[in-house]
Structure 1
Amino acid sequence: MKICVPSANNGGLDDMVGQHFGMVPTYTVMDIEHNLVEIVGNTSEHNGGVGLPPELLSKKGVNIMLCGGLGQKAVDMFNEYGIDVFIGAQGTVETAINDWKEGNLVNPTSENVCQGHGHDEDQH
Structure 2
Amino acid sequence: MDQAMEVVLVGHSAGGLSLTDAIHKYGEKIHVAVYVAANMLKYGFSTDQDRKDGEPDLSEYGDVSELIYGLGADQPPTSVIIKPQFQRMLMYNTSPIEAKSVRPRPVQIFILSQGAGHENRAH
Greater RCO (Cα-Cα under 8 Å, separation 6 or more): 1
Look at both structures and tell me which one has the larger radius of gyration over its CA atoms: 2
- Fold similarity call, TM over 0.5: no
Q: TM-score range by the shorter chain?
A: under 0.3
TM-score by structure 2 length?
0.24
